[in-house]
Structure 1
């Protein structure tokens, strides 16, 4: 999987039938700026939004992350999955997800623990881009108003066995 910056990728990887990329790209650039501002606030400037592209695959996702130490704020848009076969299907709808998570602090690290999540489905590329912008704004608000230590205290799986 390659992480390709928004400016260097092709929006048709995420939105295959996109005709006018301008309005969608404008909204996604705003979302990327919010992710970058949050990353800066956390003390780790980030790259905004990147395509999660697997060469040869028909579709790609688009994601952004701002993180500090064990804390991560993620936004992503992806094609839907067939609920029975668990494979990507041709959009629409597009799934937009946001997640605030902390790194596992147990002796056996299991990965990340979700603290807060949001998700939505969107029928058009512009609606999906606006969903990404909305989630990026939500992440920015949560990441700049909540003290960093509060997220760890809310981890119900902290120190699990």
Structure 2
């Protein structure tokens, strides 16, 4: 997060401090989860394309068996599927496993949560809540057990 500007995600943000403080707590939770997975170094990063007026924000903790992901994105126009100015901000959490089929289709979602938020501070609180949920779920089961829950395992 130090390499960007929170206003990419929250364009009208006036007081950065309170939002940044909550996001730092979320980042610490994801970092603790990454440490439990044996892959320290996870943190919140901007999903920003050069020249784009807006960005998302995400964090990922993963190992070979499973990925734990939180993402803040801007709303999309449902008719044109283009980003539109916020609010609301969409906060999504996902636990997924890599496709194990002969033709790898990407990742298979195992559990997800999502919420919409009307203010930057609410969105940051949403990220913190999802980071907590991911941390709790990451500690609740052995990491290899997530693969067993993949209903699309070995699909054709």
Could you tell me how far apart the structure 2 residues matched to 1:76 and 1:133 are? 11
Of the candidates 33, 36, 40, which is equivalent to residue 41 of structure 1?
A: 36
- 1:1-161 equivalent positions in 2, closer than 5 A: 6-161=1-156
Segments of 5+ residues of structure 1 without an aligned counterpart are 1-5
List per-residue Cα deviations over 1:57-113 (Å, max 9, x = no partner): 010000000001131000000110000000000000000000000000001100000
Say which SS state the counterpart of residue 7 (structure 1) adopts.
coil
Give every structure 1 segment of 4 or more consecutive aligned residues whose post-TM-superposition deviation is greater than 2 Å.
Answer: none
Say which SS state the counterpart of residue 137 (structure 2) adopts.
helix
Q: Is the 8 A contact 2:31 2:61 kept in 1?
A: yes
Q: Is the 8 A contact 1:96 1:132 kept in 2?
A: yes
Say which SS state the counterpart of residue 8 (structure 1) adopts.
coil
Shift of 1:47: 2.9
List per-residue Cα deviations over 1:103-138 (Å, max 9, x = no partner): 000011000000000000000000000000000000
Say which SS state the counterpart of residue 123 (structure 2) adopts.
helix
TM-score by length of 2: 0.98
TM-score by length of 1: 0.95
Segments of 5+ residues of structure 2 without an aligned counterpart are none
Equivalences, count: 156
